[in-house]
Structure 1
Amino acid sequence: MELPINPPVEPMLARSVSELPTGAGMTYEPKWDGFRCIIFRDGDEVELASRGGKTLTRYFPEVVEQARRQLPPRCAVDGELIVIRRDGPDGQPRLDFDQLNQRIHPAASRVRLLAETTPADFVAFDLLALGDEALLELPYPQRRARLEAALAHVRPPVHVTQISTDAATARRWFEVFEGAGLDGLIAKPADLPYEPGKRLMFKVKHARTADVVIAGFRWHKSGPVVGSLLLGLYDDAGVLHHVGASASFTMARRQELLDELAPYRTGVDGHPWTHGDHESGQRIPGAPSRWSGKKSLDWEPLRPELVAEVAYDAMEGDRFRHTARFVRWRPDRDPRSCGYDQLDRPVRYDVDQVLHGDPAATT
């Protein structure tokens, strides 16, 4: 492969901000919930490079084929790999990160099957090289114009993300696009060059809190202190489901937590998770998967009497999409009152509208 820039190239990143940035020439685009991917194409040679520099090429043969069919003969395009689920219970297409995760499989036969049954789309949002020209030094608006021209004729499953320079439109996107499975917005200053590995863009993500039952914990890998708290929520039938974990603590705090949890480590006979059943639809901790690898799945039950407030950004089905952040204990809350009904569920929104252009958007 002989391009003006060749892999590995660390993608440019964004830093989190709490408010939508504004300013002359600021450009906004949806924040896609998928695998960051830079596609390098030099004729028939195609490389899909992940954010960490690892190759994704063997896992997405259908994307490689689309790159050969639709991308310029020699280019480097920054974007996102996504999987769209179209058979959900409400019938609306939305992003499905779980299905995307399942695409990373060691068996070639499984890779081929998944490429047919859950094919990935590619959403382009930046152009790093075209022909013999490297574009990294160009301001973002110029790179965007070159991207639109170079990919003017692409068709699904290849897309060019929509953008807006109107802050009011961006705020509307932030509210409604979450229902399509997106998790926020990206803001790019007008004079922004492309600097690999630097956090020069801005990202705004949804942030919420929920009161959860602390029904177990895992040990820290470094020694006998708390590694993570296991979080639970009750459904309408009174079944306690494992919905995620909270794990970001200092070592001093991990020791304190062990002391605070000690009274709840006794009397755990009949714990709802040690007697739970995956086949009945109950989510319980400790289920092995190919993603856990050699990671220990052992956990310690606690009497489900402690309630904590945690911060989370989004749900993936009936669990927290990412690790939740511990906020505080809630001794005033009845554990049985910690149900799914407290969660803020986004309005469903068609991901095809996000991909093909929101008719209400303005630039």
Structure 2
Amino acid sequence: MIDALVKPIAPMEARLVSALPEEPGWQFEPKWDGFRAIAVRDGERVAIWSKSGRPLDRYFPELVALLLGAASTRFIVDGEIVVPRGNALSFGALQARLHPAPSRIARLSRETPAQFMLFDLLRLGDEDVTSRPLAERRPALEAFHAAEGSAALLLSPCSHDLADARAWLAEAGGALDGVVAKRLDQPYLGGERAMAKVKQRRSADCVVGGFRRTPDGSGVASLLLGLYNDEGRLDHVGFTSGLAAAERKRLLGILAPLVEAPGFTGKAPGGPSRWNDGKESEWSPLRAECVVEVGYDQVTDGRFRHGTKLLRWRPDKRPDQCTTDQLVREISPAELITLMGAR
């Protein structure tokens, strides 16, 4: 156990697949939108490790206190750190924790306390259970969770029925990031991609509210995307890039005549951001005339978390039809657990 306090434990990971397995012998679980973490307690010491091996315990003092308050004094569990804010999970609130100032971490731990969503059990007391099949580890994890009785320590739902997993994706309004499948007869294989995951396929029609040029100025490097908010203002929600070289030059000829301020009438791009690695980046505003459909994975605080994939241009769609209500509805763990339990 001492080694686990000072040396990261690699979690078992999942490979991306196009469809969930249909044969029997699988357990299905929701793919949560948080920080994957391995939590270790040995007596009065606690360590929380990120998937990349980074220590997280200093950023989440409320989870350290939660784990120290558990009835069991020696255990290792696999799970996800999530932060509910209002009726949804907030990845932005999670990111805000990764800050060097202890005073800010302490304040945020009070204002937006984190929760820990249990996935798997690796050790309980003196017993290493990683060699046991999931069919035995899951009941042990459920018993561990039942003994703790904390609202901040959650148990991820599961099902052995493929129909349930498909229904989660359909009935959650696209709010799930995806579904993970685990073999019931499989031990815990840390560091291996021994699970399977299916991610949601999502798309949205967006206004092209601006663009950024290539470094040499000869073409379009990326399109800046906008959606109209409830007040009728065009908010910057992300970007799409990955354009072919010939397409970059062609697009510049099409978009240059449309350059017109302000482009975005609500939230606008500008200075440093998580999209440009903290660097200033010039951009050109456009009249709200062009519409594109893009594929995306996740939404954080009303914006696409990552770059999107350009699927097609939509000359058939009016810009004012591109509104924020297209984005997936964020959902709280409690709400989703209720939805899954109802099935």
Normalising by structure 1, we get a TM-score of 0.82
Within the alignment, does 1:262 sit opposite 2:252 as a pair? yes
Structure 2, unaligned runs of 5 or more: none
Structure 2 counterpart of 1:283: 267
Structure 1 counterpart of 2:101: 107
Q: Distance in 2 between matches of 1:66 and 1:205?
A: 31
Structure 2 counterpart of 1:89: none
Within the alignment, does 1:174 sit opposite 2:157 as a pair? no
Q: Distance in 2 between matches of 1:220 and 1:109?
A: 41
SS in 2 for 1:230: strand
Within the alignment, does 1:156 sit opposite 2:151 as a pair? yes
Aligned CA distance change for structure 1 residues 354 and 267 (closer, same or farther; 3 Å): closer
Q: Distance in 2 between matches of 1:198 and 1:220?
A: 39
Asked if 1 retains the 8 angstrom alpha-carbon contact of 2:260 and 2:285, the reply is no
Q: Distance in 2 between matches of 1:13 and 1:65?
A: 27
Aligned residues: 340
Amino acid across the alignment from 2:158: I
CA shift for structure 1 position 22: 2.3
Asked if 2 retains the 8 angstrom alpha-carbon contact of 1:38 and 1:50, the reply is yes
Q: Distance in 2 between matches of 1:62 and 1:200?
A: 31
Aligned CA distance change for structure 1 residues 55 and 220 (closer, same or farther; 3 Å): farther
SS in 1 for 2:311: strand
Question: In structure 2, which of residues 292, 296, 300 is the aligned counterpart of residue 312 of structure 1?
Answer: 296
Structure 1 counterpart of 2:188: 194
Within the alignment, does 1:32 sit opposite 2:26 as a pair? no
Asked if 1 retains the 8 angstrom alpha-carbon contact of 2:219 and 2:252, the reply is no
Question: In structure 2, which of residues 114, 120, 132 is the aligned counterpart of residue 138 of structure 1?
Answer: 132
Structure 1 counterpart of 2:233: 239
Within the alignment, does 1:271 sit opposite 2:253 as a pair? no
Q: Distance in 2 between matches of 1:350 and 1:39?
A: 22
Asked if 2 retains the 8 angstrom alpha-carbon contact of 1:5 and 1:129, the reply is no
CA shift for structure 1 position 166: 1.7
CA shift for structure 1 position 116: 0.7
SS in 2 for 1:152: helix
Q: Distance in 1 between matches of 2:342 and 2:284?
A: 50
Within the alignment, does 1:295 sit opposite 2:278 as a pair? yes
Q: Distance in 1 between matches of 2:276 and 2:305?
A: 20
Query: Which digits, 9 at most, give the CA deviation of each residue in 1:155-207, with x for residues without a partner?
Result: 2111221211122222222233457x542221112222222332221222221
Amino acid across the alignment from 1:299: E
Normalising by structure 2, we get a TM-score of 0.86
Aligned CA distance change for structure 1 residues 220 and 47 (closer, same or farther; 3 Å): farther
Asked if 2 retains the 8 angstrom alpha-carbon contact of 1:46 and 1:67, the reply is yes
- Worse overlay, 328-337 or 152-161: 328-337
CA shift for structure 1 position 35: 0.7
Structure 2 counterpart of 1:11: 11
Q: Distance in 2 between matches of 1:242 and 1:338?
A: 12
Structure 1 counterpart of 2:49: 49
CA shift for structure 1 position 238: 4.3
Aligned CA distance change for structure 1 residues 286 and 12 (closer, same or farther; 3 Å): farther
Q: Distance in 2 between matches of 1:221 and 1:57?
A: 41
SS in 1 for 2:23: coil
Root-mean-square deviation (CA, aligned residues, Å) is: 3.0
Q: Distance in 1 between matches of 2:88 and 2:160?
A: 25
CA shift for structure 1 position 216: 2.8
Query: Which digits, 9 at most, give the CA deviation of each residue in 1:317-359, with x for residues without a partner?
Result: 4322433211123344444443335x2654x766324457844
- Worse overlay, 106-115 or 197-206: 197-206
Q: Distance in 2 between matches of 1:60 and 1:325?
A: 34
Q: Distance in 2 between matches of 1:267 and 1:222?
A: 20
Asked if 2 retains the 8 angstrom alpha-carbon contact of 1:216 and 1:300, the reply is yes
The percent identity for this pair of structures is 40
CA shift for structure 1 position 125: 0.6
Amino acid across the alignment from 1:298: S
